[in-house]
Chains A and B, each alone.
Chain A
Amino acid sequence: MIDALIHALPLVFAPMNFLAMVIGVVAGLVVGCLPGLTVVTGLAVLIPLTFGLDPLFALGMMAGMYNGGSYGGAIPAILMRVPGTPASVATVLDGYKMTQNGQAAYALQVALLSGVIGSVLSSLALIVLSPPLVSFSLLFGPIEYFWLGILGLATVSSLLGDDLPKGLIACGIGLLIGAVGQDISNGTERFTFGQLELLDGFSAIVLLTGLFAVPPVLQMVEEAVKTGMSGDKLKLHAQGSALRQWRYFTPVWLRSSVIGIIIGILPGAGGSMSSFLAYNEAKRVARKPETFGHGNPEGVAASECGNGADNAASLIPALALGIPGSGVAAVILGGLLVHGLRPGPQLFREHPDIVYGFMLQFLVTSLMLAVLGGLAATRIFGQVLRLPRIVLAPVILLFVTIGVYSVNNAVFDLWVLLGVGVVGYVLERLDYPSAPIVLGLLLGPMIESQLRLALTISGGRTAALVSTPIAITLALLSAAILLTPAWRKLRSAA
């Protein structure tokens, strides 16, 4: 592992890859600070733009956007009481109160420093914990990979929200989209309707972009917000150093980081859950819990540190096993596949420079955030908030259009983008979650091919699917995860 990290270092710090990380962090800050745009949207716009580029250039931008967007959400949360991302909702509680108390700059500083610390510890967890998990996955054959895919789909149950059938429908739609194209085992064309463009199935980039980038554009048009943020709110003055108070914040940072990392690793959790849990824990152990919600900087620190700590951690199961820990990780997984990088032992064996480079990029962009997201930068990037959001809607569309077109040089893809975008909008309005669609799309082909392979090897005996201890464990784990929501419901009803 150490060797691989050392080999990856020069690649990470190669001028172009370094520039990619800077661009990613800056773009992430902008995306994060714009209410209505999430990191997932930013990544969905970014992935087609990076298609055909060097993998580490593309992955550096993704890592930067993830970390930058994570903190970017805190800027409007603190200044405007509008969480830029779902994960910064808990930051609003004390952050905006601090702004009202005339401590906006200090609140931003606490948020930034806490986010950086959470992200750095999370990146270290990614580097340390992924390789052992990969070694374990070397024991896997087709049967185990089939169950691993099922386990990945089972995690959907925790991404479903409150509505089980809708989550399952979203997952089914993803599985079905994944089935479009030529069946690799016998050459049968499935649902191509004579279109040559569909022979290899739908392009994952086009689908991800349509699903996550077009609905926010339509929503911006619907909302038609014609005003931006007042410039007065962005005039920030120096208000003391959060860094000098490290002794005061250290316990909060450590607790919140541990919470964020654990939540990040758990499939389906993460994001707003880790920031809220970290916030609640800080409040629970505080000497004066009654001050939380009234401008306590510990509340901002806990929320932002927990939020930052689940970023890289959510990629631990994604990189090692191909199971994303969050919706963002699912999109990044899609980004990896787009660049021909299939997560799992093969990735670590064949492309150690890329996989360890990607991990290091998470660490570097976390640290970069401290510089690029500093108070001066917050002021500069915050200026984007002054633009009316309705003006930004077409801008997003322009970038998406050109990115998607350049994947296959095909106008056909633009129509697919449009169609998927409209369907994505409808699904969003009707509260069908989008993340299960991505999981279905990514895991469906693997499940089908591994199942067929397993059955062929075993001579068609279905009993072989539960013939190894790992397979039985994965099957039981999948069942447990699927049944958990029902069990919770029963318990709360009792």
Chain B
Amino acid sequence: MEVSGASAPTSRSLAEIVFAILLIAGAAAVIFTASGYPGESATYPVVIGAALAGLGCWVLVREVLRRLQGHATPGSFAEHAPRLAIGLVALVLYVLAVSLVGFILPSVALGVLLPASVGFRRWGLSFVVAVISVVSILLIFVLALERPIPPDILSPLGRLFR
């Protein structure tokens, strides 16, 4: 496995702290929002919010103490941060593209470009696997099960063959 670009050993500990802070903030927001609900509807989420805030504090204080004692949780948060970023961006772009132009073209593009963006250069294999997957999905979902797929700019082409 490549090691270039790997996160620093303390990133896991930092991530523990950041997540705990976000959790406490989220729990506080839950309590604040739920307090405005009438009686019974408020009790349940307020209790859970309070419990989450308390548990978040537990994790936060524990990790801070560990760091002070020099025993911070070891390891890195991401196995390979740049590739993780690529994966996340690809996911966001894919969902965005699906909502704009439909399922077919973004799916083939994802199947080819995602492996390529992390260094896999066997374009032919990626393309064949992506096309087979998309065609299989269309055959199973659209033809066999008559289930909907996101509105697609290629849909008019499909109607020509019916």
Interface positions, chain B 23-82, Cβ under 8 Å from A, are: 23, 30, 33-34, 37-38, 40-41, 44-45, 48-49, 51-52, 55-56, 58-59, 62, 77-80
B154 on the interface (CB 8 Å rule)?
no
A14 on the interface (CB 8 Å rule)?
no
Partner of B48, one of A53, A165, A172: A172
A53 CB to closest chain B CB (Å) equals: 7
Interface positions, chain A 403-417, Cβ under 8 Å from B, are: 405-406, 409, 411, 414-415, 417
B110 CB to closest chain A CB (Å) equals: 5
Cβ B95 vs Cβ A414 within 8 A: yes
Q: Which residues of B contact A421 (CB under 8 A)?
A: 91
Q: How far is the CA of A226 from the CA of B44 in the complex (A)?
A: 48
Cβ B52 vs Cβ A176 within 8 A: yes
Cβ A422 vs Cβ B23 within 8 A: no
Q: Which residues of A contact B34 (CB under 8 A)?
A: 190-191
Cβ B55 vs Cβ A172 within 8 A: yes
Cβ A406 vs Cβ B148 within 8 A: yes
Cβ B88 vs Cβ A395 within 8 A: no
Q: How far is the CA of A401 from the CA of B102 in the complex (A)?
A: 11
Cβ B83 vs Cβ A221 within 8 A: yes
Cβ B103 vs Cβ A391 within 8 A: no
Q: How far is the CA of A221 from the CA of B41 in the complex (A)?
A: 42
Q: Which of A168, A394, A398, A414: most chain B Cβ within 10 A?
A: A394
Q: How far is the CA of A417 from the CA of B95 in the complex (A)?
A: 10
Cβ A397 vs Cβ B38 within 8 A: no
Q: How far is the CA of A417 from the CA of B88 in the complex (A)?
A: 13
B71 CB to closest chain A CB (Å) equals: 15
Q: How far is the CA of A401 from the CA of B99 in the complex (A)?
A: 11
Interface positions, chain B 108-157, Cβ under 8 Å from A, are: 110-111, 114-115, 118-120, 122, 125-126, 129-130, 133-134, 137, 141, 145, 147-150
B3 on the interface (CB 8 Å rule)?
no
Q: How far is the CA of A176 from the CA of B48 in the complex (A)?
A: 7
Cβ B111 vs Cβ A398 within 8 A: yes
Cβ B80 vs Cβ A411 within 8 A: no
Interface residues of A (CB under 8 A from B): 52-53, 165-166, 168-169, 172-173, 175-176, 179, 183, 185-186, 188, 190-191, 214, 217-219, 221-224, 226, 387-388, 390-395, 397-399, 401-402, 405-406, 409, 411, 414-415, 417-418, 421-422, 426, 429-430, 448, 452
Interface residues of B (CB under 8 A from A): 1-2, 12, 15-16, 19, 23, 30, 33-34, 37-38, 40-41, 44-45, 48-49, 51-52, 55-56, 58-59, 62, 77-80, 83-84, 86-88, 90-92, 94-95, 98-99, 103, 107, 110-111, 114-115, 118-120, 122, 125-126, 129-130, 133-134, 137, 141, 145, 147-150
The 23 sampled A-B contact pairs (Cβ below 8 Å) are: A169-B56, A172-B48, A176-B30, A176-B45, A176-B49, A183-B40, A188-B38, A190-B37, A191-B33, A221-B118, A223-B1, A224-B83, A388-B120, A388-B122, A391-B115, A393-B115, A394-B114, A398-B137, A401-B94, A402-B103, A405-B148, A430-B12, A430-B77
